[in-house]
Amino acid sequence: MLNAELVASLESRLAARLRARNDVLRPFFAREAAPLARASREIADRFARGGRLYAFGHGPYATDAAHVSVEFVHPVIVGKRALPAFDASAAPEAFVEALVEPDDMAIAFGPPEGDLRSIAALRTARRKGAFTLAWPGIEADYSVTSPTVDAHVHQEAFEVLGHTLYESVHVFLEHRGELGDDVGASAFLYPYLGSGQSDSAAIVDGVAASIVEKARDGERLREQIAAEQVKAIAAAVVAIGARVAAGGRLLIFGNGGSATDATDFALDCVLDVPGMPPLAAISLAAEPAILTAIGNDVGVELTFLRQLIAQSRPPDVAFAMSTSGGSKNVIAALEEARKRGLLTVALLGYDGGEIVRRGLADHAIVVRCDYIPRIQEAQAGIYHVMRHALAEVGKRA
């Protein structure tokens, strides 16, 4: 089958998979909005008392824990307070036993069926007085049942849940006056703040309504991508598939939350699951020793470029993730990838930024949105459907 025909044959399936997510996520967030709002209030109260958040998971779900941690420590909403959070995935039980105190919080991520390895750590945290969240699970102060058995859609649901948790916690902190009386950068997200509203129950109801609306924003964005970006996604899949068939690997990279997504995508590629044989992939964002060594010795702008020099071979694919399209270390890596003959693919937000303007990606997939959490949620859906499509392309090779 010619490439153009293969791209065309993939488009409808990619669009259908993206749209099918809405049917799963819509009732999920209608169900979880109120419990999530109440949990956010409890977590805000604990942060205000000096509590810390510990997150953990195994395998791909460790990337979810890391994503939550970075969102709280390094807020994406300008002007928000950095809150203490820690990814304890390396040794959950040991970290919980050694570190957790009564005002703390512990959140466990896992597959749709839950993770028995996380139960002991959550039990210990709860025994020590922490507020516990099982995502998913049945044995915690806030337990959530997965809306699907599809591991990828499941993970996307809990990424949205994590983002809205982070956003909602800041609302309650501001309501408490932790950041002053001015709601500042959150005013456009939560218009009911700063209006003299002092009824805590009404604030919870308002936050719950905003959670539902955010989920609807994500739904509209997936619909937009299904309508406007599936050709670009399909073309990227076919091009990547050709490189993989020639012995190439995916070298995936990004910063912050995009770093956790890069590692998640790499894990999705290498794990052997039914219907999706492993693909060769590594995350250039996964090793802190390498990242900090390069950043310290030669500069943070070279964190991915220097790894590409060491890791890349001509058939490889440089796969960049960036919400802005303007990260200097991502741009430098794509420039180097071009020099070395790698295929360059970029998953971007906003208007694609400098990467699109300078034509640094052979295949640019742009989530046309200007709010980082929604961009990242949509990007997760895109690379997950790409993983499915790569398996289909591989079977035809």
| CATH code at position 332 | 3.40.50.10490
Check whether residue 28 and residue 167 sit in a common domain. Answer: yes
Q: Is residue 1 part of a domain?
A: no
Asked whether the predicted pLDDT for residue 31 surpasses 70, the reply is yes
What DSSP letter does each residue of 193-261 carry, written as one string? TTSS---HHHHHHHHHHHHHHHHHHHHHHHHHHHHHTHHHHHHHHHHHHHHHHTT--EEEE-STHHHHH
pLDDT of residue 132 exceeding 70: yes
pLDDT for 196 equals: 44
Does 349 map to a domain? yes
Sheet holding 131-135, edge to edge: 85-87, 53-56, 105-109, 131-135, 142-143
CA distance 374 to 385: 17
Query: Are 305 and 342 within 8 A, CB to CB?
Result: no
Structure tokens at 390: 């790569």
Answer yes or no: is pLDDT of 34 > 90. yes
Q: Give 274 or 159, the one with higher predicted confidence.
A: 159
Instruction: Report the pLDDT averaged over residues 379-397.
Output: 92
120 occurs within a structural domain: yes
Task: Please check the confidence at residue 260 and state whether its pLDDT lies above 70.
Answer: yes
| Boundary of a domain, candidates 187, 217, 247 | 217
Residues 267 and 170 in one domain: no
Tell me the C-alpha distance between 62 and 88, whole Å: 9
pLDDT at 228 over 60: yes
pLDDT for 198: 52
At 2, the pLDDT band (50, 70, 90 cuts) reads low
pLDDT higher at 78 or 226: 226
- Please tell me the distance from the alpha carbon of residue 303 to that of residue 285, in angstroms, as a whole number: 9
pLDDT class of 3 with cuts at 50, 70, 90: confident
Checking if the pLDDT of 195 tops 50, the result is no
25 burial type by CB count under 10 A (0-12 exposed, 13-18 middle, 19+ buried):
buried
Has residue 8 been placed in a domain?
A: no
Helix (H) or strand (E) holding 54: strand 53-56
Do residue 150 and residue 51 come from a single domain?
yes
Q: What is the pLDDT of residues 283-322, one digit of tens each?
A: 999 999 999 999 999 999 999 999 999 999 999 999 999 9
Whether residue 343 sits in one domain with residue 306:
yes
If asked whether residues 249 and 182 sit together in one domain, one would say no
Residue 337 CA to residue 309 CA, distance in Å, equals: 9
Q: What pLDDT, in 10s, does the model give residues 155-172?
A: 999 999 999 999 999 999
Do residue 235 and residue 313 come from a single domain?
A: yes
> Do 76 and 180 fall into the same domain?
yes
Contacts of 191 (CB under 8 A, 6+ apart): none
In the three-class reduction of DSSP (H, G, I as helix; E, B as strand; rest coil), residue 317 is classed as: strand
Q: What is the pLDDT of residue 396?
A: 75
- Whether residue 182 has pLDDT greater than 70: no
One domain, residues 130 and 70: yes
Percent of the chain with pLDDT over 70: 93
Q: How many helices (H) and strands (E) does the chain have?
A: 13, 10
Indicate the residue among 164, 183, 217 that finishes a domain. Answer: 217
Grade residue 30 by pLDDT with cuts at 50, 70 and 90: very high
Nearest to 8 by CA among 389, 266, 268, 338: 389
Residues 193 and 272 in one domain: no
Q: Is the pTM of this model over 0.75?
A: yes
- Number of domains the chain contains: 2
Lowest mean pLDDT among 73-87, 204-218, 275-289: 73-87
**pLDDT category, 397, cuts 50, 70, 90?**
low
Instruction: Identify the pLDDT of residue 79.
Output: 77
Q: Label residue 142 by pLDDT band (50, 70, 90).
A: very high
Angle at 111 between CA 105 and CA 115, to 5 degrees: 60
- Domain membership of residue 236 as a residue range: 229-396
CA separation, residue 85 to residues 11, 20, 105, 106, 251 (Å):
40, 33, 9, 10, 28
pLDDT over 70 (residue 277): yes
Strand (E) or helix (H) holding 65: helix 60-73
Looking at residue 191, its pLDDT comes to: 47
As a whole number of angstroms, the distance between CA 9 and CA 13 comes to 8
- Average pLDDT of the residues in 204-212: 96
Question: Quick one: residue 353, left, alpha or beta (phi over 0 = left, psi -120 to 50 = alpha)?
Answer: left
Residues 250 and 197 in one domain: no
According to the model, what pLDDT value does residue 178 have? 55
One domain, residues 254 and 194: no
For position 334, what pLDDT does the model report?
Answer: 98
**What per-residue confidence (pLDDT) applies to 366?**
98
Degrees to nearest 5, angle at CA 141 with 140 and 145? 60
Average pLDDT over residues 371-381: 97
Across all residues in the chain, what is the average pLDDT? 93
Residue 6 lies in a domain: no
Pair 332, 265 in one domain: yes
Average pLDDT over residues 34-47: 98
Strands 131-135 and 85-87, by their bridges, are: unpaired
Task: Confirm if 386 and 269 have CB atoms less than 8 A apart.
Answer: no
Say what percent of the chain tops pLDDT 90: 85
β 142-143/131-135 pair status: parallel
Q: CB atoms < 10 A from the CB of 83, how many?
A: 22
Instruction: Identify whether 294 is part of a domain.
Output: yes
pLDDT given for residue 193 in this prediction: 47
**Residue 52's closest CA among 117, 107, 113, 120?**
107
Per the domain annotation, does 390 fall within a domain? yes
Last-in-domain residue among 166, 186, 217:
217
Q: Is residue 177 part of a domain?
A: yes
pLDDT recorded at residue 190:
45
Q: Are 25 and 215 in contact (CB under 8 A)?
A: yes
| pLDDT attached to residue 254 | 98
With residue 36 as reference, give the H or E element that holds it.
helix 3-48
